[in-house]
Amino acid sequence: MIPIVFFGTYKFASAILESIVRSGLFEIRAVITQPDRPIGRHQELQKSPVKILAEKHNLTIEQPESLKGYTLHVAPYTLNIVVEYGLIIPQGILDSSERGSINIHPSLLPKYRGPSPIQSVLINGDNETGVSIMLMDKKMDHGPILSQKKFSIDPADTYTTLADKLSTLSAEMLIETVPKFLNGEIEPEVQIDENATFCKILEKDDGLVDFERTAEEIFNQFRGMIVWPGIHAYLEGKRMKFLDIRPVDLQIAPGVIKIQDEKVSVGCRTGSIELVKIQMEGKKPMGAPEFINGYNKFNGLKFN
**How confident is residue 216, by pLDDT bands cut at 50, 70 and 90?**
very high
Task: Summarize pLDDT for 8-58 with one digit per residue, the tens.
Answer: 999 999 999 999 999 999 999 999 999 999 887 778 889 999 999 999 999
Distance of alpha carbon 280 from alpha carbon 292, whole angstroms: 12
Residue 73 pLDDT exceeds 90: no
Instruction: Identify the three-state secondary structure at position 21.
Output: helix
Tell me: do 219 and 76 sit in the same domain: no
Buried b / exposed e over 156-194, threshold 16 CB at 10 Å, is ebbbeebbebbbebbbebbbebbeebeeeebeeeebeee
Tell me: do 25 and 78 sit in the same domain: yes
Greatest pairwise CA separation for the chain in angstroms: 69
For residue 286, what are the domain limits?
204-298
Distance of alpha carbon 114 from alpha carbon 86, whole angstroms: 11
Distance of alpha carbon 141 from alpha carbon 69, whole angstroms: 22
Tell me: do 220 and 131 sit in the same domain: no
Tell me: do 57 and 176 sit in the same domain: yes
Last residue of some domain: 156, 174, 195? 195
Tell me: do 160 and 216 sit in the same domain: no
